[in-house]
Amino acid sequence: MPQADGVLGVDVGGTFTDFAAIGDGGVRVWKRLSTPAAPEEAVLAGAGGGAAQLAHGSTVATNALLERRGPRTLLATTEGFRDLLEIRRQERPALYDLEPRRRPHVVARGDAIAVRERVGADGAVVEPLAEAEVARVVTEARARGAEAVAVCLLFSWLRPEHEARLAAALRAAGLAVSASHEALPEHREYERASTTAVNVFLQPVVRRYLGGLEARFPGLRVMHSAGGLASAAAAGERPVSMVASGPAGGVLGALAAARAAGHEHVVTFDMGGTSTDVSLCPGGPRYRSDAEIDGLALRTPMIDLVTVGAGGGSIAALDAGGAMTVGPRSAGADPGPACYGRGTLPTVSDANLALGRLRPDVPLGGAVAPDLDRARAALAALGEPVAAAAAVVEVANATMARALRRVSLERGYDPADFTLVAFGGAGPLHACELAAQTGIARVLVPRHAGVLSAIGIAAAPEAVERGQGLLLALDADAAEPVRATAAALEARAADGLRAGGSALAALSWAADARYAGQAHELRVAVEQPAPDAIAAAFHAAHEREYGFAARARPVELVALRCRAEGPARPLPPAAETGAGDPDAIVPIALGDGTRAVHAPRAALAAGAALDGPAVVTQPDATCYVPPEWRATADAAGNLELTPR
Amino acid sequence: MSEDPARLAVWNALLASAADEMGATLWRTGHSPNIRERRDFSCAVFDARGQLAAQAAHIPVHLGAMPESVAAVNALAPWSEGDVAIVNDPYLGGTHLPDVTLVAPVFADGALIGFVANRAHHADIGGMSAGSMPVASELYQEGLIIPPLKLREGGATNEALLALILRNVRTPEERRGDFDAQLGALRTGAARLEALAARHGTAELARWMAALLDYAERLTRAALAAIPDGDYEAEDAMEGADGALLPLRARVTVAGGGATIDFSGSATEQDASINAVEAVTRSAAVYCVRCLLPPDAPSNAGVFRPLRVLAPEGSIVNARPQRAVSAGNVETSQRVTDVVLAALARALPERIPAASAGTMSNLAFGGVRPDGSPFACYETIPGGAGAGPRGDGESGVQTHMTNTANTPAEAIERAFPVRVRRFELRDGSGGAGRHRGGDGVVREIEFLAGAGVTLIGDRRLIGPPGARGGGDALPGANALIRAGGERTPLAGQAQLRVAPGDRIEVRTPGGGGWGSAAPDAP
């Protein structure tokens, strides 16, 4: 069992738990099979007893939310708004569904308590919260037998007194409480209530899990959705901040590898078994805070990424009109693609195997011997197996290309200006063809393409982000409130970081702003939390993202955000790659008989180039080099692919 | 004839991508909240004959109406490169006046290869009230009517036409910005189409556009094949200004793999804005069939081929020019959906849900703040969804022809002199049944300044019907509550003045129940 010295990054996935140790000895990586019933078992077994600091990316919060595994939770809210979590934003999830349904929230209809009180839009008290009313709400909450209460009163982000008094009384009565002005002091009552309710709902499960791990790994660090690490205590207090953390490690890992290789503007392309995550990183990650997970609004800072198209397990079929479809149905882990030996329906992985892009003699995921006959039999349902396989890959690529182009253009970018960083089990198989279809001229396959998330987690800085809603016109009167808010935010963010035991290395600012009258805001990075700087940054960002700036129009500051980061932990210089072994490069025939070569990754020395068609296999990923492309190995162990 | 399944899927993605990217450009560069926040626009690609080849799915009511815009502007042929046509005339390819459509021909090597078009809901297009959605009795009151005209000719903008339009709307700068966004989106779509022609050849592009129409037709026919041949009829009603019921009838005839949807017997057109133009009726009818197709099926002219929509001229579902139409788009379209689905339910009782709220419960208010600045707000209020074979109906949700979001109380109260007193589910308003209909909502708004208020909401007299023995939902109810507490019921369509302290209370209909609540006696 490898012993870690510095930081040990652990990423728990559905099939494998990945480990990356970063220390004086460079980067070392390994994998274990996951133990979904008790994920910590694989973590403990894989981590060994080393004294390393464990940095953990976990889906425990996400899974608990998806399964609605948590205590009965009440919502205490202003009278007139008891059904906030039922009505939500009143939209239905699918336009052409005769029976559209939203997933139930974590608070059942009827589990809301209406509170007599009201704060107005200017922050003035319209109806005071009486002590007798506080007592009545506490009595009712106890009488209902719930363990947890989310408190979300109207305009509490502007004037928190009522909410704070009620929350204190409920806590004193022994209930677990999240108050919305603490969880998310920003306007929009549904999103704030939803975030607060999910937060208090997830606390017990997440605290139990992290508590168990921290007993074995003191100083445990946990990945959060905004691409930073937090202490176990902080994560247990704000489990909602972990819900979208899964793919964040991959984005950080891809960015770190790309930067080390000299690429600044990248699109990360993480194609796994069931889905594909894409993140546009123009010089660095983009952040957002308006996510919806399983139909529930969650406002928590996160790396902006989009789940698109298909994964290796996506099932191909013919529809009633005679067209091929790939996904969204997936063979998942059980039964999995046909080539894994149990499934019978044709998937993208089966197609790659039949085409010879996955090699029949290279174990899948390093563990399972691929069953080519079974894959071909499954594909036969679609036609002649090799032709059907080519069709499946073509359709999967077209689906992903459509999504990638749309998400780029919506954010004001042309994918042609980016480098595609491909990872995940299936990313490097599809990267060149996807690049060709979206006008991208360069693909990078990082050295550790199959365990990039674990590396990203290990290399992530400690980070705390705090925000405050303002809804303030950015005029001459704004300077003082902005200054006061910034000072309070800076203290909260820095204190949060220090409470986790980290030194403060960097502070950065962002503002959510919009033109007066707009309903949606744009998050922009700002150098200084001052009105002029914010307005200037906003106009510039609006021009770039939306094609115009209305410099004469008043700008409204919706929220101010402060991010405090601990010291960066750049990846150590890559260990020497081997001298290469040209003799290990062997001729092969692809599925359709095309002559190609197969190169184990270790066969390529730094600087070596390989013209397609070719297949390069690494222990944790396989890369397909199409006929018109050339792969070049760099000194850090990455493959860079460009059209010839 | 069957095409190669993979090429079909790839070409479907390529053409849908062109429509998507037009949408992304329009959304990204649009100036008004209607475009940026509510995404009230649609983009489409057409073949050289003007047949719809791909449409990005945003707004159901645009579904059947975009092809008519292209047909209408095609009267302006011959086309040359750099031409762009504009139209909003509801009787010549439009829906209601705020929806303005731009169409551009696309060329490759001098030959016409197709058209690109987009339609956007403009926040104001003139007329008797801000927002151009008044309680009107004739079309001229609703705003500026733009017949099919060339806004750009050979790349040069018709500045006289643009000046005329901008002088007739309340927010000309925002309009100019939105027109620029629409023009930019057309360029994006045209560039994608030109690139496809350059890469694959114009013949190949034309061949695959045709193949995709055939493909969508096959999907539609496959869905219709699940319906036993026969005549299926249903009747419902809109509520007239004086409380009279205006019948709306649909007969769906399924035969020979096609379907005819005939609205004969529906009420005659009205001196009110409740009239739907034929394009709106067609959109609502096609929406119902579209709901029977796989979720990712393409929206193109092939879907329409097996369908015939017959709406008698001069009726409430095919009004003649001059008639006001703004509520037809938002209210009558909902009833068309209800009655077509009710007819289909006779054929597919185990598939079609009970009626949903059947109204968008439109509330508009505006006035002048104490500081002298004007304000205007428009919102649609959700209701209950009909229960169906799969379960209870959703409560407090947008149904059928609309899916726009609400404005949070914490936003609306910051923007306008109002206080939201209540926005909660209206318990018990959904129909009873084995599966319960969704509940409507109660929305109560207190005015902190004097204002003019317009309410347009149907289903205020008769509740949405249940299905398969399920109970009917409660109809909606509107009321004015004066500052002193005096409560006055309001009609479904009402225009009134309110004073500070007054409240408007809107109770929206639930959805119908599905199936008998009690098990059948043995």
Look at residue B92 and tell me whether its pLDDT is greater than 80: yes
Residue of A nearest to B298 (CA): A321
Q: CA nearest B61 in A: which residue?
A: A95
CB within 8 Å: A319 and B219: yes
| Rounded distance between C-alpha atoms, residue A229 and residue A243, angstroms | 14
Going by pLDDT thresholds of 50, 70 and 90, the confidence category of residue B522 is very low
Answer yes or no: do B295 and A325 touch at CB < 8 A. no
Instruction: Tell me what the mean pLDDT of segment B341-368 comes to.
Output: 94
Q: Contacts of residue B216 in chain A, CB cutoff 8 Å?
A: 321
Give the CA angle between residues B145, B150, B156 to the nearest 5°: 130
Considering only CA atoms, which of B173, B96, B140 is closest in space to residue B362?
B96
pLDDT of residue B148: 97
Residue range B229-266, pLDDT digits in tens:
999 999 999 998 788 999 999 999 999 889 999 999 99
Q: Is the pLDDT of residue B521 over 70?
A: no
**pLDDT tens, B411-470?**
999 988 999 999 999 999 999 999 999 999 999 999 999 999 989 999 999 999 999 999
Tallying the residues shown for chain B, one arrives at 522
pLDDT of residue A161: 98
- Chain B neighbors of A548, CB-CB under 8 A: 29, 31, 177, 180
Please list the residues that pair with A115 across neighbouring strands. A78
Mean pLDDT value of segment A442-465: 93
Reported confidence tier of residue B377, pLDDT bands at 50, 70, 90: confident
Three-state DSSP at A345 gives coil
Contact A443, A432 (CB under 8 A): yes
| Nearest Cα to Cα of residue B405 among A556, A519, A98, A300 | A519
Among A197, A117, A194, A195, smallest CA distance to A161 is for A117
A63 touches chain B (CB under 8 A): no
Mean pLDDT to the nearest integer, B108-135: 89
Tell whether A545 is within 8 A of chain B (Cβ): yes
Is 80 exceeded by the pLDDT of residue A308?
A: no
Closest Cα partner for B459 from B360, B373, B381, B358?
B358
Contact A87 B216 (CB under 8 A): no
Give A520's pLDDT tier (boundaries 50, 70, 90).
confident
Q: Classify residue B331 by its DSSP letter.
A: I
Q: How far is CA A256 from CA A265, A446, B91, in A?
A: 12, 10, 59
- How much is the average pLDDT of A127-133? 98
Predicted confidence at residue B61, as pLDDT, reads 79
| Rounded (5°) CA angle B73-B75-B78 | 100
Decide if A82 touches B, using CB distance below 8 A: yes
A165 touches chain B (CB under 8 A): no
Q: Do A409 and B57 touch (CB under 8 A)?
A: no
Q: Please name the helix (run of DSSP H) or strand (run of DSSP E) that holds residue B76, with its range, or none.
A: none
The reported pLDDT for the residue numbered A272 is 84
Burial class (CB in 10 A: 0-12, 13-18, 19+), A1: exposed
Q: Check CB contact of A552 with chain B, cutoff 8 Å.
A: no
From the list B295, B403, B408, the residue facing A188 with the nearest CB is B408
DSSP secondary structure letters along A148-206: EEEEE-TTTTT--HHHHHHHHHHHHTT-EEEEHHHH--SS-HHHHHHHHHHHHHHHHHH
Tokens of A159: 């004037």
Does B25 lie at the interface with A, CB-CB under 8 angstroms?
yes
Mean pLDDT to the nearest integer, A566-578: 76
CA-based torsion, B286, B291, B292, B295: positive or negative: positive
Q: How far apart are CA A242 and CA A298, in angstroms?
A: 11
**In the prediction, which pLDDT does B151 show?**
98
Q: Shortest Cα distance from B218 to chain A (angstroms)? A: 5
pLDDT of residue A1: 40
Query: What local confidence, expressed as pLDDT, does residue A69 receive?
Result: 94
Report chain A's C-alpha Rg in angstroms. Answer: 26
Quick one: closest CA in A to B28, which residue?
Answer: A546
What does the pLDDT average to over B21-33?
83
pLDDT at A576: 66
| Alpha carbons B217 and B221: distance in angstroms, whole number | 6
pLDDT value, residue A2: 44
Give the C-alpha separation, B457 to B479, whole Å. Answer: 12
CB B358, CB B238: distance < 8 Å: no
The pLDDT mean for chain A works out to 92
Task: Using a CB–CB cutoff of 8 Å, tell me whether B413 touches chain A.
Answer: yes
pLDDT of residue B372: 84
* Residue of chain B whose alpha carbon sits nearest to that of A157: B410
CATH of the domain spanning A461-565: 3.30.1490
Q: Are A442 and A435 in contact (CB under 8 A)?
A: yes
pLDDT given at position B491: 93
Judge residue B376's burial from the number of C-beta atoms within 10 Å of its C-beta, 0-12 exposed, 13-18 middle, 19 or more buried. Answer: middle
Domain with CATH 3.30.1490 in chain A: 461-565
Q: Is the pLDDT of residue A78 over 80?
A: yes
- In this prediction, residue B335 has a pLDDT band, given cuts at 50, 70 and 90, of very high
Q: Are B449 and B370 in contact (CB under 8 A)?
A: yes
Distance in angstroms (rounded) separating the CA atoms of residues B460 and B238: 10
Residue in A86, A410, A519 nearest the CB of B37: A519
CB atoms within 10 A of CB B159: 9
Res A450 pLDDT > 90: no
Say which of B5, B389, B414 has its CB closest to residue A322: B5
Give the pLDDT of residue A50.
Answer: 62
pLDDT for residue B3 is more than 80: no
Average pLDDT, chain B: 92
What tens digit of pLDDT does each residue of A216-272 get?
A: 999 999 999 999 999 999 999 999 999 988 789 999 999 999 998 999 999 999 998
Q: How many residues does chain A have?
A: 644
Strands (E), A446-574: 463-473, 506-515, 522-526, 555-565
Q: What is the mean pLDDT of residues A23-44?
A: 86
B425 CB near a chain A CB, below 8 Å? Answer: yes
What are the pLDDT digits (tens) for A418-435? 999 999 889 999 999 999
Question: How sure is the predictor about B2, in pLDDT bands with cuts at 50, 70 and 90?
Answer: low
**Facing residue for B382 by CB, picked from A90, A191, A383:** A90
Domain boundaries A264-441, CATH class: alpha beta
- State whether B352 and A155 contact (CB < 8 Å): no
pLDDT of residue A571: 77
B265, with CB counted inside 10 A (0-12, 13-18, 19+), is middle
- Single-letter amino acid, residue A424: G
Using pLDDT thresholds of 50, 70 and 90, give the confidence band for residue A633.
Answer: very high
* pTM for the model: 0.93
CB contact under 8 A, B215 and A102: no
As annotated, the residues of chain A forming the CATH 3.30.420 domain(s) are 264-441
Domain residue ranges in chain B: 5-217, 353-522
AA identity, residue B236: D
Of A462 and B173, the structure prediction assigns the larger pLDDT to A462
User: Residue B21 and residue A87: Cβ atoms within 8 Å?
Assistant: no
Residue A568 has pLDDT above 90, yes or no: no
What band does B508 get if pLDDT is binned at 50, 70 and 90? very high
- Contact assignment for A80 to B222 by CB distance below 8 Å: no
Confidence check: pLDDT of A342 > 50: yes
**Number of Cα atoms under 13 Å in the Cβ half of residue A35:** 10
Identify the residue with better confidence: A333 or B351. B351
pLDDT tens string B153-208? 999 999 999 999 999 998 888 888 899 999 999 999 999 999 999 999 999 999 99
Helix or strand run (H / E) with residue B478: strand B477-481
Using the Cα atoms of residue A551, residue A556, residue A558 and residue A562 in order, give the sign of their dihedral.
positive
For the segment B57-69, the average pLDDT, to the nearest whole number, is: 80
Closest Cα in chain B, distance from residue A177 (Å): 23
Helix (H) or strand (E) holding A78: strand A73-78
Q: What is the pLDDT of residue A150?
A: 98
Please check whether residue B199 touches A, CB under 8 A: no
Q: What pLDDT does B129 receive?
A: 79
Is pLDDT of A51 > 90?
no
A129-149 mean pLDDT: 96
| Distance between CA atoms of residues A477 and A496, nearest Å | 30
**A333, burial (CB in 10 Å: exposed 0-12, middle 13-18, buried 19+):** middle
Percent above pLDDT 70 for chain B: 98
Query: What pLDDT is recorded for position A251?
Result: 94
